[in-house]
Amino acid sequence: MALSFIHCADLHLGTPFKGVAGRFSTNDSDMYEILHAPETAFQKIIDFAIKKKVDFVLFAGDITDSVNANWRSISILTQGIEQLTKENIKVFAVAGNHDAMPNQNLEKAFKNATLFSHEKIEYHEIPGKAVIGGISFCAENAAKNTAKDFQRQNADLFHIALFHGNIGGRQGYDNYSPASIGDLAKCNMDYWALGHIHETSFLSEKNPVILYSGATLSRDVNESSPKGFYYVQVDDFKNVKCDFISSSPLIFCRLNIHLKNADSMTEIKNQVRETILNFVDSNNADKYFIELIICGNTALDREIQEQNEEDLHFIFSEGLPANCKTGRIKIQTEGTFDKDVFCRENIFAADLHSSFAEEKNADFPLLKEELAALKRNYSNFIDFDSISYEELTNDAENEILRLLTEDMS
């Protein structure tokens, strides 16, 4: 029964990359790469599938950016599907909210493959191996829980559900075809190939695997997490191995650079470069478009605010790899002052300082309580695990002391 397949979603072929040109000083060749990035990512999937000789490829919706996809996108899509079918690799797809059914373009592109209907859940069997169930998104069903109706067809074969929608009420995304993780778990499938959420995430690691493969490419600075698809291998005992394969040729990101003891231009430059290089190291794209927000305390606060953005580009680009382009640079730095001297002269500040010291010595009880409350609502947006209590407490104290000094001046 061993089998292998590709799970991808949210390719957004033909996406116009609105606003990108204004954020980055792009030349024609950059713009060419940006505009064709969705195709490049798509072709990486096709080439990978052929190289690995997978049994089939699953597209979990938002394949094109719009129902009225341009001719070029449709032509690229059609060619890719032809390449797969020529190699005897089967192709299954559902439409998402961007390319919702009814959709003649998708129907044409998938005419020699399987595009699931939006009317009811259908099942296709690959004899001896798998059953793939799916239902396409359509506006009419946008508010309905269609996912809960998937059903296992037989005991033996590996069962996959192909679906586009918001599972588990993910914040920050339209609540299309909503269902809970529990609804999915009850359907007795082996693998849920989901689309809609652009960050890759496992809602369940096994029995069943419930996975958002994430988008195949980064579209703007708010989509800076690694983008790609999954190569899934299933053994004779239905053990599932999911490997993430990155596919985005370029990454847009917005980096916060919190200056620390940066009291010379060289030191500021070094700290900016180090943050950028760390980001590049932890990703795997051909090109990076990076916005910078520079904050923190520096004695050069006034000077850096006075520089014009063009000059800062020049300064910060020096020594960066050629595949990193800086975009907008926002300066939000603050000046420095001598905390000890200030606390000696100001009773309120001294009091405040000892309260913060107490909080630190007691292992941050107040801060932990506050964060627990925030975590309930914001765990999708803030990486609470990476918060340093020490750093946050120091920042809070410095900020209050700074406001106090401003009041007095």
**Interaction site with Mn ion (CB under 5 A):** 10, 62
Q: How far is the CB of 217 from Mn ion (least distance, A)?
A: 11
Q: How far is the CB of 59 from Mn ion (least distance, A)?
A: 12
Distances (CA, A) of 347 to 210, 394, 395: 57, 19, 20
- In the complex with Mn ion, which residue's Cβ is closer, 69 or 255? 69
- In the complex with Mn ion, which residue's Cβ is closer, 10 or 223? 10
Q: How far is the CB of 197 from Mn ion (least distance, A)?
A: 8
Closest CA to 247 of 39, 5, 395: 39
Q: How far is the CB of 98 from Mn ion (least distance, A)?
A: 6
Residue 408 pairs in a beta bridge with none
Residues 6+ apart with CB under 8 A from 16: 65
- In the complex with Mn ion, which residue's Cβ is closer, 38 or 327? 38
**Phi, psi for residue 137 in degrees, rounded to 5:** -75, 140
306 CB burial (10 A radius; 0-12, 13-18, 19+): exposed
Distances (CA, A) of 157 to 63, 121, 163: 27, 18, 19
- In the complex with Mn ion, which residue's Cβ is closer, 10 or 359? 10
In the chain, what are the helix, strand and coil shares in percent, each to the nearest 5? Answer: 35, 25, 40
- In the complex with Mn ion, which residue's Cβ is closer, 68 or 112? 68
Look-up: residue for tokens 């059903």?
151
Q: How far is the CB of 78 from Mn ion (least distance, A)?
A: 21
Starting at the edge strand that comes first in sequence, how are the strands of the sheet with 90-94 ordered? Answer: 114-115, 90-94, 56-60, 3-8, 228-234, 240-246
Residue nearest Mn ion, Cβ-based? 62
My answer on whether omega of the bond before 38 falls inside 30° of 0, hence cis, is no
**Phi, psi for residue 313 in degrees, rounded to 5:** -55, -50
- In the complex with Mn ion, which residue's Cβ is closer, 219 or 287? 219
- 6 φ/ψ sector (left φ>0, alpha ψ -120 to 50, else beta): beta
Q: How far is the CB of 196 from Mn ion (least distance, A)?
A: 6
C-beta of residue 56 within 8 angstroms of C-beta of residue 90: yes
- In the complex with Mn ion, which residue's Cβ is closer, 39 or 62? 62
Structure tokens at 309: 């953005």
- In the complex with Mn ion, which residue's Cβ is closer, 10 or 55? 10
- In the complex with Mn ion, which residue's Cβ is closer, 95 or 401? 95
Q: How far is the CB of 265 from Mn ion (least distance, A)?
A: 42
Structure tokens at 331: 């300066």
